[in-house]
Every structure is written in C-alpha cells, then in structure tokens.
C-alpha cells in the first residue's frame, strides 16, 4: 500500500467531532421543535440557516452522501474519499482546513512582507445582547475600533499617512482588526 493511502485511512478530525456528531444526530430535531418556547426569549429567534448547517455537518465525511474514488498512479491502490461539508466555524475539521488555506493565501498573496499586528476588540458581556438583535451595531463598533487603533498608531509613530486597517467580520465577537 502506498504511503498516501495509508495516511488517509484514519481521520483524526472525524474522531474529534464524534461526540458533537452523536449529540446533534440524537437531539437536534428535538431542539428545533422546542427552541421557540424554551430558548428564544433568552438567545433570540431561531435562525433559518441553522438546520442547513447542521444537516451539512451530519453528512460531512459520510460515504453515503457522496465521495470521490482516489487512485494512486504509483501502486494502483484505490480508496474512497468522502465529500466534506466545507462549513466554516461549525465543523471543526472543515474549518481547520479552510483556515489553513486562508492563512497561506493571506501570507502569500495579500500581506506585504512587513511586520503586522493583530488587535482583538471584545464586547463586554453586558453589551452583547444589544448586538444580538441589532447586528448593524457590530459594523459600527468595528469602524469605531478601527479609527481608534489608527489614531493610536498615528500618534505613536508620528506618521500621518497610514493605510486604513481592515476589519474581517465573520460573526462579531471577538473582532480582529488587522493593520
């Protein structure tokens, strides 16, 4: 057997999500039925995207939901590679792969070969419920934080002509501001 096929036989990512998978497989349908009456008043309304994300996660890495046949040209060994859900944030294995690719792209394509800083802006827990229902506040807070960080860097360096930092904004908390 070739080394490529041997390295793909076991999936540590699938083992690491086994408990999450089992919990969702057994209890998600019940949660979706009782959410509005038991949890909506505390955590906000049920988002329409949630069932689709969970369904994709439950199908991730399962051969019955689709696969590709991989063949090694050197030794003619074949194996099946199950399709992944490609979900960000929810599926740990797919998110890790996506994050690794994004980091490589960021380093090779986007960032100049100069020192960079990351500033993390966190919203206090008491203010988070306001952002739950008024998502536009998150954008306002990101722009305000970017202005404050830029003003601080300008004051520290004495350099008035700085590029504006950009704020990647996946869901809101914490907010990373790159400069």
Helices (H), the chain: 3-7, 12-16, 18-38, 40-43, 49-59, 92-105, 128-133, 136-157
pTM greater than 0.85 (yes/no): no
Same domain as 165, residue 130: yes
If you average pLDDT over residues 102-120, what whole number do you get? 83
Same domain as 102, residue 120: no
Same domain as 38, residue 81: yes
By the 10 Å C-beta count (0-12 exposed, 13-18 middle, 19+ buried), 9 is classed as exposed
Same domain as 7, residue 58: yes
Same domain as 81, residue 126: no
**Domain boundaries, position 170:** 114-178
If you average pLDDT over residues 11-37, what whole number do you get? 79
Q: What is the mean pLDDT of the chain?
A: 78
Q: Nearest to residue 172, comparing CAs of 147, 129, 130, 142?
A: 142
Task: Render pLDDT for 129-149 as a digit per residue (tens, 0 to 9).
Answer: 888 888 888 889 889 988 888
Domain end (from 106, 122, 145): 106
Same domain as 90, residue 38: yes
State the pLDDT confidence band at 17, using cuts at 50, 70 and 90: low
Same domain as 43, residue 82: yes
Domain end (from 85, 106, 127): 106
Domain end (from 61, 79, 106): 106
Residues 147 and 19: their CA atoms lie apart, in Å, by: 43
Same domain as 69, residue 10: yes
Beta-bridged to residue 81, according to DSSP, are 68
Q: Nearest to residue 140, comparing CAs of 123, 163, 116?
A: 123
Same domain as 124, residue 99: no
Q: Per the structure, how many domains does the chain have?
A: 2
Same domain as 94, residue 14: yes
Same domain as 165, residue 141: yes
């Amino acid at each position: 057997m070739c080394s490529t096929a041997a390295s793909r036989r076991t999936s540590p990512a699938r083992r690491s999500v086994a408990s999450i998978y089992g919990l969702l497989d057994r209890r998600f349908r019940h949660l979706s039925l009782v959410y509005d009456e038991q949890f909506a008043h505390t955590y906000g309304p049920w988002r329409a995207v949630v069932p689709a994300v969970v369904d994709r996660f439950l199908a991730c890495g399962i051969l019955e939901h689709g696969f590709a046949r991989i063949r090694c040209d050197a030794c003619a060994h074949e194996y099946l590679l199950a399709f992944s859900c490609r979900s960000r944030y929810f599926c740990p294995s797919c998110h890790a792969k996506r994050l690794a690719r994004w980091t490589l792209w960021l380093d090779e394509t986007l960032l100049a070969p100069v020192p960079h800083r990351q500033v993390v802006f966190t919203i206090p827990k008491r203010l988070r419920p306001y952002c739950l229902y008024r998502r536009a506040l998150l954008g306002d807070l990101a722009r305000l934080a970017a202005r404050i960080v830029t003003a601080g860097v300008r004051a520290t360096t004495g350099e008035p002509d700085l590029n504006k930092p950009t704020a990647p904004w996946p869901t809101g908390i914490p907010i990373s501001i790159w400069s």
